[in-house]
Amino acid sequence: MQGNLIHGSLPKSFCNLSTSVKGIDMSNNRIQGSIPLALKNLFNLSALALLNNFIIDRIPDSIGALSNLQELGLRGNMLTGEIPSSIGNITSLKLLDLSSNIFQGYIPQSLGSCKQLIGLDLSNNNLIGSIPAEIVGLSSLSIVLSLANNNLSGSLPLQVGSLKNLGELDLSYNRLTGLIPASISECLVLERLHLEANSFHGQIPEALCPLRGLQELDLSNNNFSGPIPSFLAELSQLMYLNLSFNQLGGEVLEGGVFLNASSVSIYGNTELCGGVPGLKLPLCKSPSSKKVSSTKARVIYVVAGSLLCLALLLLCLSISYCKKKQTTANASTSLSFENQFLRISYEELLRATNRFSETNLIGKRRYGTVYKGILDGGVTVATKVLNLMQRGASRSFISECQTLGTIRHRNLVKILSVYSSVDFHGNDFKALIYEFMANESLEEWLHPSTIGRDDEHGESRNVRLVQRLRIAIDIATAIEYLHKSCYSTIVHGDLKPSNVLLDNNMVARVGDFGLAKIISMVSAEATRIQDQGSSTSTAVRGSIGYVSLEYGMGHKVSILGDTYSYGILLLEMFIGKRPTEEAFGHNLNLHNFVRMALSDRAMDIIDLRLWSEAGNRQQEIKIRDCIISVFEVGLAFSMESPLDRMDMTEAIRKLHLIKVSSETKERRIGM
């Protein structure tokens, strides 16, 4: 019964089904309420899938009585409390997906008793404590082990070496510390390793060298130091490498994955140099003789290492082939593994927002009204109350839950909770609770007169040139993450300044995913071809002025629609004019307005507030050079033909270089 519009609670009679029933799938519905205690009566059940509903409360301990259960999928609900240790009694369990709920407490060590587990996903919850050695010691795990987006601490247990058959290990966005244990070298089948956004330190370990099947490696946002190890260039299967925001230094390699600048991210490591020209790093200051000697040594090392690794690769392929045959058979009915919420009642929302009073009003959106609120625990939040009379509001609510509930990134607005039930009058009530952004939206900084501020106050809220560049990079980084780093590609669909919020430190957070679309993972080239293809009714509507032209002709949803919107937003940030201003008329849009002025009138269209940073002719030239470079990037994004638009990764690189150049010039001339 999956994929319908079934709503209401699970009736008690649900547990009176014939004891011969072996599989129940009611995923992707609108089921509310809690899991019945009498679930244990279905003792012959081998598969239970209730994914992506609105089920609340705890998982009953009685679930441990389902001794024949092999698959349990409860992802994408609002289950809370601790994960019951009784699940460890289900020793026949092969697939367990409890991700994207509100589970708290520790990971139960009893899960280590499930010796047949091939897939375990506990990501996107509020779990604390250390990673149990019993979990990483499960040698049966072969599909995925994901504990991402929790609050786990401590070090990675040495028992990680037991995961000899595992294809994907994701421990990202936790508080893990220490060194990566050398035992990870035994995970020879590993294809995807994500350790980003933790506090691992030390050098990138040589223990990763034997992992010849690695296709994705993300060590970004940690405290790794030292040089980039040479073996990373020898991982022939590596297609994505992210080492950004560490403390790495020295020369960047020029082989393997490092030959393709779009496959490597090394931002935030200020001591790196060299590499292929596409990385745009400064040249290394080393004698030419040493460079020649180093090159010869590298060639010898690569040749010798390749012969040795070829033998290892053949062995790994043989092992992998056998395991994949077994995994395919076992996972033919597997659950998908892909989302953390606070438990908030309607009464608490009323108290937090002063009964949704006008004094707490932050703003109004397409499908709802946003209020500032302070929860009982003292946390300040932004609460978006859906206007369910507005057509499309319910669909918008589901879209935001499906997207923001499954992802987390430092440049995306974080959803803290959702509420979907009734108010005190029995009317349907839906609300989304987000982190509160103290500096409001980018719209209110670019166009301060629109929110009733006088000129003096508006002037004080001006965003400086370098700050605008940082915000532009933040937005681009968020969109790149949605397009390239999620389990499924996500198209935002409504990128504009009012949907970009700024936190206390003026870090940009992209929000409002009411029009977002989750599309299947496709290559960049396939996306481009698809975008030129037939029309579909699922085209993103977006906002006038920011919607890509092909959507108006009915073309399919694609990441290139977001690319166009970002280009328009980028141009708007530096000329201070909306794309819908009457000055453009019917025959001119923002892209053409900037393109026509770029050759000889670029300075005439710059946001006048940016000129306040220039005190002399030299400073004016510096500002001019910077903004013309930004205009070129914005124009490359907003080309009429989707095939002509710049890639988001390349744009981040260009904007980063422009920012670094501007910051250097700013320090030099005392801006």
Instruction: State whether residue 356 is helix, strand or coil.
Output: coil
The reply to whether 122 falls in a domain is no
Q: Mark whether 287 and 422 lie in a shared domain.
A: no
The predicted model gives 198-206 an average pLDDT of 93
Q: Mark whether 420 and 459 lie in a shared domain.
A: no
Give dist(CA 454, CA 448) in Å, integer: 8
User: What are 68-81's pLDDT values in tens digits?
Assistant: 999 999 998 889 99
CA distances from 59 to 70, 81, 126, 340 (A): 17, 8, 15, 16
Of 309, 339, 369, the domain-final residue: 339
Q: Across the strands, what pairs with 104?
A: 82, 126
The predicted model gives 89-114 an average pLDDT of 92
Give dist(CA 180, CA 219) in Å, integer: 11
Residue 287's Cα: distance from chain center in Å?
Answer: 42
CATH number of domain containing 158: 3.80.10.10
Q: Mark whether 424 and 414 lie in a shared domain.
A: yes
Q: Is the CB of residue 384 less than 8 Å from the CB of residue 393? A: no
Q: Mark whether 509 and 544 lie in a shared domain.
A: yes
Of 302, 318, 339, the domain-final residue: 339
Give dist(CA 33, CA 224) in Å, integer: 45
Q: Across the strands, what pairs with 535?
A: 555
Q: Which residue has the tokens 């280590």?
A: 112
Give dist(CA 271, CA 281) in Å, integer: 10
Of 63, 89, 116, the domain-final residue: 116
User: What are 425-447's pLDDT values in tens digits?
Assistant: 777 888 888 888 888 888 888 88
Token pair, residue 543, equals: 């906002």
The reply to whether 211 falls in a domain is yes
For residue 329, count other CB atoms closer than 10 A to its CB.
8
pLDDT at 453: 44
Q: Mark whether 645 and 573 lie in a shared domain.
A: yes
CB half-sphere exposure, 187, CA atoms < 13 A: 32
Q: Mark whether 376 and 466 lie in a shared domain.
A: no
The reply to whether 124 falls in a domain is no
Q: What angle do CA 565, 570, 647 make, to 5 degrees?
A: 65
Has residue 211 got a pLDDT over 60? yes
The amino acid at 421: S
Has residue 522 got a pLDDT over 60? no
User: What are 338-374's pLDDT values in tens digits?
Assistant: 334 567 788 888 888 888 888 888 877 777 888 988 8
What values do phi and psi take at 412, rounded to 5? -120, 140
Task: Give the pLDDT band (50/70/90) at residue 624.
Answer: confident
Q: Which residue has the tokens 């994914």?
A: 51
CB half-sphere exposure, 37, CA atoms < 13 A: 0
Q: Mark whether 539 and 501 lie in a shared domain.
A: yes
Instruction: State whether residue 387 is helix, strand or coil.
Output: coil
Q: Mark whether 177 and 326 lie in a shared domain.
A: yes
The reply to whether 459 falls in a domain is yes
The reply to whether 307 falls in a domain is yes
User: What are the catalytic residues?
Assistant: 494
Give dist(CA 528, CA 486) in Å, integer: 19
Give dist(CA 66, CA 518) in Å, integer: 34
What is the total count of domains within the chain?
Answer: 4
How buried is residue 440: exposed, middle or buried, by Cβ count under 10 Å (0-12/13-18/19+)? middle
Residue 585, Ramachandran bin (φ over 0: left; ψ between -120 and 50: alpha; else beta): left
The reply to whether 125 falls in a domain is no
Q: Mark whether 448 and 411 lie in a shared domain.
A: no
Range of the domain at 567: 442-669
Q: Is the CB of residue 123 less than 8 Å from the CB of residue 148? A: yes
CATH number of domain containing 405: 3.30.200.20
Q: Is the CB of residue 411 less than 8 Å from the CB of residue 474? A: yes
The reply to whether 123 falls in a domain is no
**Average pLDDT taken over every residue of the chain:** 80
- Which helix (H) or strand (E) is 625 found in, with range? helix 617-637
Q: Across the strands, what pairs with 415?
A: 434
Against a cut of 0.85, is the pTM above it? no
Q: Mark whether 298 and 211 lie in a shared domain.
A: yes
pLDDT at 304: 53
User: What are 547-596's pLDDT values in tens digits?
Assistant: 877 776 666 778 888 889 899 999 999 988 888 777 665 556 888 888 88
pLDDT at 203: 93
Q: Mark whether 57 and 78 lie in a shared domain.
A: yes
Give dist(CA 355, CA 527) in Å, integer: 46
The reply to whether 27 falls in a domain is yes
CA distances from 501 to 245, 318, 361, 508 (A): 22, 50, 16, 6
Give dist(CA 78, CA 33) in Å, integer: 10
First to last CA, the chain: 64
Least confident of 91-100, 149-158, 457-466, 633-642: 457-466
